[in-house]
Amino acid sequence: MPFITTKDGTQIFYKDWGSGQPIVFHHGWPLSADDWDSQMLFFLQHGYRVIAHDRRGHGRSGQPNSGHEMDTYAADVAELAAALGLRDAIHVGHSTGGGEVARYVARHGKGRVAKAVLISAVPPIMLKTEQNPGGLPISVFDDLRSQLAANRAQFYREVPIPFYGFNRPGAKVLEGVIDNWWRQGMMGAVNAHYECIKVFSETDFNSDLAAIEVPTLVMHGDDDQIVPYADAGVLSASIIRNATLKIYQGYPHGMCTVHADMINPDLLAFVRG
């Protein structure tokens, strides 16, 4: 399997398929590159080079005791992009991966990035503060940490239910999707996943968003039970100078998986536009 080794010795697993303009996919917590199966195959079949990595501590990548914060996540992506010689790339991030895209593009992407996409993403900041009164209280994230520490395997059976909106009336529950979420989560390191809760909830991306100059598509479902759209996608699009906002009525956090038939064509239109 292909890996790069970062400056601190961490091995980062990646997939790299096809040729043409590169599209780089950044996964959410606590998943892996496999969460992008529907998009990777779709864009490969449309003539693009598709790349996705497992964040450190996640999936098949190394499980170090350090570097579980957004600056290092973005630096790992920068090392991957340099190793693969990526130019004119489109970076697509879901959830925590959207934060990773924002920081990477702002700090490392100059001359390498053509466009960016933030899907159900955590920026500008999830935590409720005086400056962000619409955010979620710290107790929400403390509860996530407590459940993770108490019984990660059971916790990872429960999270996919609201993640994909399977708790909504009339929703078709896809057991394979739940199993695949659990499989990906359990591949990673519990310490990395625990630390990443702080990363996705408390990292402030306001300055990153303000620094992004490339065209950016912001996509969010208005029934997102994980990252509420009004304090995330709507605010992010108002900060990024060249952003397009698209809100999907009734769509959940994991809309890339359960509504790939709608999301993929919209992504393609933006990529081609």
What does the pLDDT average to over 40-60? 98
pTM: 0.97
Whether the predicted pLDDT of 230 surpasses 80: yes
Does residue 189 surpass a pLDDT of 80?
A: yes
Residue 7 is which amino acid? Answer: K
Of 138, 180, 160, residue with least CA distance to 226: 160
Asked if pLDDT for residue 113 goes beyond 90, the answer is yes
- What token pair was written down for 35? 């969460």
pLDDT of 1 reads 74
Q: Residue 9 above 80 pLDDT?
A: yes
* In 88-142, beta strands by DSSP E: 89-94, 113-119
Biggest CA-to-CA distance, the chain: 49
Instruction: State how far the Cα of 124 lies from the Cα of 163, in Å rounded to an integer.
Output: 20
Annotated catalytic residues are: 95, 224, 253
Task: Check: CB of residue 45 under 8 Å from CB of residue 181.
Answer: no
Average pLDDT over residues 234-243: 98
**How large a percentage of the chain has pLDDT more than 90?**
100
- In whole angstroms, give the CA distance from residue 171 to residue 67: 38
Q: Across the chain, what does the average pLDDT equal?
A: 98
What is the number of other CB atoms lying within 10 angstroms of the CB of residue 129? 12
Across 98-125, average pLDDT: 98
Is residue 271 predicted with pLDDT exceeding 90? yes
Q: For residue 162, what are its two tokens?
A: 């609201």
55, 8, 78, 52: which is closest to 187 by C-alpha? 55
Superfamily of domain 3-272: Alpha/Beta hydrolase fold, catalytic domain (3.40.50.1820)
Contacts of 212 by beta carbon, 8 Å cutoff, 6+ apart: 102, 105, 106, 116, 240, 241, 242
Looking at the chain, the whole-number percentage of residues with pLDDT higher than 70 is 100
CA-angle at 30, arms to 187 and 75, nearest 5°: 100
